[in-house]
C-alpha cells in the first residue's frame, strides 16, 4: 500500500501538468465569437467528426446528447465555448424536421429535446470554468423561464462571478422588482431562486427577506407552503406574523384551500418562543375554532410561551376541550394550553383519576413555590 501511494505521489505532478499544458489550458484565454453565436447555422468546422456532433445538438431526436457535447469539449476545446454559447442562446427550430406533417406534436417534442440539450450544454460549461462564458450565462438567465435550466445556469455563473448571482436571483424570486426577469412569472423559478438566496445569504439578508415577503404574502397554494417550510423555527418573526394573520383571515372567511391548510399548520410550527398579543390572539382563535390539525398546531405554539396570557377568556377553550374525544392528540394539545394558563381549571374538564389531574396539582404546587420564593 505504501509503495502504491509513493507511485501515485510521483505521478501527481505529471497529472496536474496535463491540466496546465493540455487542451484545457487554452480555455482560460477563450474569446466568444459573437458572429457564430448570432448565427449558429453558419458555423463550419474543419473537423468533420466535430461538425457531425455540432449538428447533432440541433437534431429533433438526438442520441447520446451528453456524449455529443462532451466530444466537442475534447475535440475542439478552443472553439467549444463559442459552440456552447451559441447552442445555449439558440431560440429557433431544429435544423431538420423528421415529421413535418405533425407540427404541434413536433413542437412539443422539440421543446423537450431543447431542454435536455441545453442541460447537457450547461453541464459542459460548468466543467470549463471559462470566465468568457459569464455574460453568456447572464444573458440566458435574463430570458429563460425553465426552473431546472435556470438553476444550472445560476450555479455555473456563481462559479465564475459569484457577486452577480444574488441580484439575479432576487429578480427571479420577487416579481415586484422593477427589473424583474421573465422567469419571475413562473412559480417554479421563484421557488428555486428563493432557495438559492437562502443558501447564499441566509434568512437575515435583505434580498432573502424581500423574496420571502413575496412568497408569504403575495402567493398561495404550494408556493406559499413551500416557502414557509423553508423557515426555521423562530426565524423572521416580523415576516411570519403577517403571513399567519393572513392565513387565519382566509380560514375565517372560509377560503382556505388544502394547501392553505397545510401552510397554516407549518406557520404555527415555525413560531418562536416569543409571541406578541396579535399573534397570540390569532392562535387562540385558531385553537378554539379551527379544524383539528391546525387547532393542535396553534395550541402547541401557544403553550410554548405565556407572556400573552393575561385576562384570557377560558370559556371557548373549555368548550372546545369538552367537545374533543378523550385521549385524542387534539385534546392533549388543548389540555397543554389550559395547563399552562390555569392549572386550577383542569379539574373541571377531566376525570379526577386522570394523569392530567395529577399534573395540574403538580403545576399548581410549582406556581405556589415559585411565588413564595419570589416574595422572600
Across residues 115-135, what is the average pLDDT? 95
pLDDT above 50 for 159: yes
Cell 377553550, located at residue: 317
Per-residue burial over 263-284, b = 16 or more CB atoms within 10 Å of its CB, e = otherwise: bbbbbbebbeeebeeebbebbb
Instruction: Please answer whether residues 228 and 196 qualify as being in contact, where contact means their C-beta atoms are separated by less than 8 angstroms.
Output: no
Collapsing DSSP to helix, strand or coil, 106 comes out as: helix
pLDDT above 70 for 374: no
Who wins on pLDDT, 61 or 145? 145
What sign has the CA pseudo-torsion 37, 137, 155, 118? Answer: negative
Confidence bin at 106 (pLDDT 50/70/90):
confident
pLDDT above 90 for 363: no
DSSP track, 259-274: HHHHHHHHHHHH--S-
Across residues 315-321, what is the average pLDDT? 84
Q: What is the pLDDT of residue 30?
A: 67
Instruction: Please answer whether residues 61 and 113 qualify as being in contact, where contact means their C-beta atoms are separated by less than 8 angstroms.
Output: yes
Cell 383542569, located at residue: 346
Crossing angle of the two packed helices 187-201 and 165-173, in degrees rounded to 10: 140
pLDDT above 60 for 99: no
Q: What is the pLDDT of residue 352?
A: 65
Q: What is the pLDDT of residue 319?
A: 85
Task: Give the separation between CA 302 and CA 279, rounded to whole angstroms.
Answer: 9
Across residues 64-69, what is the average pLDDT? 93
Report the phi/psi class of residue 142: left, alpha or beta, with left for phi > 0 and alpha for psi in -120 to 50.
Answer: alpha
Q: What is the pLDDT of residue 20?
A: 31
pLDDT above 90 for 84: yes
* Nearest CA among 235, 230, 228 for reference residue 204: 235
Dihedral (C-alpha) 22, 24, 29, 35: value to the nearest 10 degrees? 120
Average pLDDT, the chain: 84
Q: What is this structure's pTM?
A: 0.81
pLDDT above 90 for 149: yes
Task: Give the separation between CA 236 and CA 270, rounded to whole angstroms.
Answer: 10
Collapsing DSSP to helix, strand or coil, 257 comes out as: coil
Amino acid at each position: 500500500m505504501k509503495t502504491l501511494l509513493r507511485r501515485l505521489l510521483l505521478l501527481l505532478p505529471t497529472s496536474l501538468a496535463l491540466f496546465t499544458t493540455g487542451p484545457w489550458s487554452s480555455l482560460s484565454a477563450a474569446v466568444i465569437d459573437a458572429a457564430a453565436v448570432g448565427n449558429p447555422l453558419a458555423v463550419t468546422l474543419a473537423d468533420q467528426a466535430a461538425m457531425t456532433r455540432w449538428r447533432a445538438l440541433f437534431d429533433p431526436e438526438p442520441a447520446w446528447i451528453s456524449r455529443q457535447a462532451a466530444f466537442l469539449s475534447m475535440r475542439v476545446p478552443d472553439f467549444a465555448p463559442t459552440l456552447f454559447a451559441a447552442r445555449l442562446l439558440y431560440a429557433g427550430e431544429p435544423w431538420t424536421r423528421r415529421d413535418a406533417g405533425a407540427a404541434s406534436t413536433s413542437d412539443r417534442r422539440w421543446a423537450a429535446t431543447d431542454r435536455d440539450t441545453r442541460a447537457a450544454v450547461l453541464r459542459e460549461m460548468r466543467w470549463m470554468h471559462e470566465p468568457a462564458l459569464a455574460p453568456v450565462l447572464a444573458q440566458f438567465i435574463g430570458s429563460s423561464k425553465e426552473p431546472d435550466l435556470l438553476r444550472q445556469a445560476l450555479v455555473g455563473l456563481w462559479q465564475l462571478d459569484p457577486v452577480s448571482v444574488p441580484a439575479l436571483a432576487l429578480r427571479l424570486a420577487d416579481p415586484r422588482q422593477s427589473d424583474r426577469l421573465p422567469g419571475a412569472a413562473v412559480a417554479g423559478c421563484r421557488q428555486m431562486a428563493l432557495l438559492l438566496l437562502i443558501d447564499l445569504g441566509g434568512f437575515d439578508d435583505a434580498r432573502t427577506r424581500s423574496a420571502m415577503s413575496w412568497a408569504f404574502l403575495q402567493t398561495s397554494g404550494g408556493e406559499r407552503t413551500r416557502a414557509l417550510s423553508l423557515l426555521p423555527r423562530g426565524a423572521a418573526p416580523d415576516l411570519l406574523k403577517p403571513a399567519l394573520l393572513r392565513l387565519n383571515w382566509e380560514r375565517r372567511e372560509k377560503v382556505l384551500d388544502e394547501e392553505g391548510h397545510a401552510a397554516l399548520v407549518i406557520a404555527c410550527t415555525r413560531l418562536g418562543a416569543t409571541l406578541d398579543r396579535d399573534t397570540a390572539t390569532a392562535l387562540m382563535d385558531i385553537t378554539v375554532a379551527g379544524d383539528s390539525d391546525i387547532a393542535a398546531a396553534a395550541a402547541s405554539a401557544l403553550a410554548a410561551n405565556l407572556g400573552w396570557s393575561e385576562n384570557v377568556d377560558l370559556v371557548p377553550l373549555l368548550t372546545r376541550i369538552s367537545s374533543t374525544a378523550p385521549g385524542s392528540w387534539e385534546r392533549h394539545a388543548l389540555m397543554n394550553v389550559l395547563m399552562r394558563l390555569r392549572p386550577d381549571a383542569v379539574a373541571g374538564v377531566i376525570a379526577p383519576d386522570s394523569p392530567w389531574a395529577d399534573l395540574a396539582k403538580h403545576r399548581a404546587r410549582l406556581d405556589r413555590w415559585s411565588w413564595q420564593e419570589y416574595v422572600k
